Amino acid sequence: MEAPAAAHDPAEPTPAAAGARITVTSPEQMQDLGRSLAALLRAGDLVMLNGELGAGKTTLTRGLGEGLGVRGAVTSPTFVIARVHPSLVDGPPLVHVDAYRLGGGLDEMEDLDLDVSLSDSVIVVEWGEGKVEELTDDRLHVVVHRAVGDTTDEVRHVTLTGLGARWTGVRLDALAG
């Protein structure tokens, strides 16, 4: 198994990002995107999910869980903060974290031992921006944009940005097809 990258030194430049923007028109497509994205993930990957409430972050994570072949229903860990889903197919476990209720940075999340889990798991952190970046230079930022207000519009625009050497050369744009 590959060890995670060292913690980011803000004084050093981050390697160029790989990215894609994908339009999703239904919850089923969001889950399909998660399944497709799972094929690109491996132990040691940190995925940071951001977007408004109801944007589809947990639906995407449910697809990731299916694609990774993990045990247990992937549901929002809002009230338990984190759930671990062991692999059923000899792959990495999925650690699903909801940092919405956590106000501080990495210090407040230290009790979750994410740094220990990172090398052998795929860690997905909803609402992780500003809280878990210090875990590794190599991470995937996923932002789900949706129309706000009183709307029944299911359209979501998903922006994927891979940061660090791990994501160099990864064709995130292939997920759009």
Average per-residue pLDDT for the chain? 81
Amino acid at 132: V
- Residue 30 exposure: Cα atoms within 13 Å on the Cβ side: 24
The whole-number pLDDT of residue 54 equals: 86
The whole-number pLDDT of residue 109 equals: 52
Please give the model's pTM, rounded to 2 decimal places.
0.81
Neighbouring residues of 142: CB distance < 8 A, sequence distance ≥ 6:
47, 48, 49, 50, 60, 158, 159, 160, 161
- Residue 92, SS3 per DSSP: coil
pLDDT digits (tens, 9 = 90+) for 90-128: 999 999 888 776 655 555 555 555 555 668 899 999 888
Burial class (CB in 10 A: 0-12, 13-18, 19+), 64: buried
The whole-number pLDDT of residue 15 equals: 47
Residue 16 has pLDDT above 70, yes or no: no
Sheet holding 139-146, edge to edge: 18-24, 156-163, 139-146, 46-51, 122-126, 94-98, 82-85
**Cβ-based neighbour number of residue 171 at 10 Å:** 12
Residue scoring higher pLDDT (130 or 87): 87
pLDDT digits (tens, 9 = 90+) for 137-154: 899 999 999 877 656 778
What is the pLDDT confidence band of residue 22, given thresholds at 50, 70 and 90?
very high
Q: What is the mean pLDDT of residues 9-33?
A: 77
